[in-house]
Structure 1
């Protein structure tokens, strides 16, 4: 995971404030490859990403808080913004505990990016040395671009998404005849709904709440 940058946090605002610097860093486990025969992580989606946030002075993220790209920490830096500021690009949908296992973070449908908030100590380049994870933010874009929506082809895998026969997530609008609709995400094949035609057994992943994709007609 990319380490937090060194940009100072923004001043505290009265309510629901954010004092965090956000640094984008892709994590594993936003979607998962099936292990029927393949054995590779072929369903990992490139249109969604997970990120790390530096919690500079102890300020905490709350549902409804916003952030966006940090112009002083390009190309991957993000920071907190008031939602009505021009730099804001996403809003926090849900706040979850931090986890060292990316697969254990399950955000709600509609999540476009995942942000791990970390508390860092020191200043300047010292902040790039790492931080202590404190919580995780499930973020949704403020624009009309929502790869995390069910069927849109990005974000974490959710019911209503579409996948190929190798469990790679794709947009349902462009799905071919060999694609499948995700009818359910379960632990055992026996738990799949009756309409399932392609139960996909996934490779083991620590923390993931499901092991089988129940695929049906797309």
Structure 2
């Protein structure tokens, strides 16, 4: 905006087509939060969230496909990632699935075994972006190492059948869960869809695009 009495800034130079390459970046969603209220119990509901952080990465071809691998970018430490051949020593994850992009993180449901969710965005410029851009794809990644927090019961990734949660719907590792933990039997839209054996149906607070609204749980 030009205020009264000020001198308008000079017009920016015209861009020549093709002089600014598109940079593809990835936003890695490492934490997911849930809010829940028991269908039978506290009418005010309870909520909890886990820690989250973001990283960024580029792909040489600009297109991520199932089976592609990536890892830390040595030129963009500490949060940068880039594409690698799967046999390269720098590769740390592989794409299990590639889905359409979404501005709503809860609208993405990756397959079982997903350790990290990656939002692919495109920005235009000569330097790497720190997180902006237009979402284009979502990559569901699995670690190449033997560490898989996204596996059922491991305590990380998206909530899936077989995970363990607290009374506030916070995911916890089943191996270290206390006596007050619950096991997830299913994730459904309505309580009537919960399987037999469900003793603690939890209705989640509203989230646009999420494919389920009720966690069907039972005492661990």
Give the TM-score category using the shorter length.
Answer: 0.7 to 0.9
Among residues 190, 201, 205, which one is paired with 1:188 in the alignment? 190
Cα distance in 1, alignment partners of residues 77 and 56 from structure 2: 14
**What is the rounded CA distance, in whole Å, between the counterparts of 1:40 and 1:72 in structure 2?**
43
Contact 1:67 1:79 in 2 (8 A): yes
Q: CA deviation at 1:124?
A: 2.1
1:85 and 1:205 map into 2 onto residues whose CA distance is 39
Q: Which residue of 1 aligns with 2:145?
A: 143
User: What are the equivalent positions in structure 2 for 1:41-190 lying under 5 Å apart?
Assistant: 41-42=47-48, 44-46=49-51, 53-54=57-58, 59-124=62-127, 127-128=129-130, 130-190=132-192
With the length of structure 1 as denominator, give the TM-score of the two structures: 0.80
Distance 1:209 1:203 in 2: 13
Q: In structure 2, what is the Cα distance between the partners aligned to 1:40 and 1:73?
A: 39
Alpha-carbon distance between aligned partners in 1 of 2:188 and 2:130, rounded to the nearest angstrom:
39
Contact 2:34 2:170 in 1 (8 A): yes
- How much has 1:53 moved relative to structure 2? 4.5
List runs of 5+ in structure 1 lacking aligned partners: 1-18
Q: Is the 8 A contact 2:115 2:148 kept in 1?
A: yes
Alignment coverage as a number of residue pairs = 195
Distance in 2 of aligned mates of 1:49 and 1:158 = 21
The residue number in structure 2 matching 1:216 is 218
- TM-score by structure 2 length? 0.79
Quick one: distance in 2 between partners of 1:20 and 1:121? 6
How many angstroms apart in 2 are the aligned matches of 1:89 and 1:196? 38
Max radius of gyration: which structure? 2
Q: Deviations over 1:91-115 (max 9, x none)?
A: 0000000000000011011100011
d(CA) in 2 for partners of 1:39, 1:22? 37
Long gaps (5+) in structure 2: 1-21
Contact map agreement 1:49 1:112 (CA 8 A) in 2: no
Structure-2 separation of matches of 1:129 and 1:152: 28
- Please give the alpha-carbon distance, in whole angstroms, between the structure 1 residues aligned to 2:131 and 2:193: 45
**SS of the residue 1:34 aligns to:** strand
For residues 128 and 177 of structure 1, the distance between their equivalents in structure 2, rounded to whole angstroms, comes to: 42
**Alignment CA distance shift 1:171-1:27 (3 Å):** closer
Distance 1:41 1:135, change over 3 A: farther
Q: Residues 20 and 79 of structure 1 are in contact (CA less than 8 Å); yes or no, is this contact kept in structure 2?
A: no
User: 1:27 Cα shift?
Assistant: 7.0
Residue 186 of structure 2 aligns to a residue whose secondary structure is: strand
